[in-house]
Amino acid sequence: MGSAWLADAVLFVHVLFVSFVVGGFALILAGAGRWTWIRNRTFRMLHVAAIVFVAVETLLGFTCPLTLWEDVLRSTGREERSFIGRWLAWLLYYNLPEWVFAIAYCAFALAVVWAWRAIPPRARSTRHAL
């Protein structure tokens, strides 16, 4: 029971990560002229780093660490997903060839890099301490 709960928690974190990447991009596009926080440099650096990490790990043939962790936690016995876990997995996992994901992740990474240039983050502060 304990490892199934932990596996569902890892799955939830995985969904949050994907939501940050996909939702963050949508918010950057939607809020470009309206919301100043969209140009926050830390947010934008974390966002671009997240999708570049996903694209690179896919191109190198690595499995996502969160997927591996969830699989390890579920392999300790007859550990099944909870009701919520099944819905989260339905949102997150698709039965497609790896090359489809590689193309999608790389295309999405290019779109995020384009957004960095088209909707640049604020420049770093140039204030100096006295």
Q: How confident is the model at residue 99 (pLDDT cuts 50, 70, 90)?
A: very high
Task: Tell me the C-alpha to C-alpha distance, in Å, between residue 71 and each of 17, 31, 88, 125.
Answer: 17, 37, 15, 44
Q: What is the mean pLDDT of residues 37-42?
A: 93
Looking at residue 110, its pLDDT comes to 97
Q: Per-residue b/e over 18-46, b at no fewer than 16 CB within 10 Å? A: bebbeebbebbeeeeeeeeebbeeebbee
Is residue 45 very low, low, confident or very high in pLDDT (cuts 50, 70, 90)? very high
The yes-or-no verdict on residue 78 having pLDDT over 60 is no
Letter for the amino acid at 45?
M
* Dihedral (CA of 100, 106, 110, 112) sign: positive
Q: In the predicted model, what is the mean pLDDT of residues 6-16?
A: 92
Report the share of the chain in percent with pLDDT over 90. 61
- Is the pLDDT score of 130 beyond 70? no
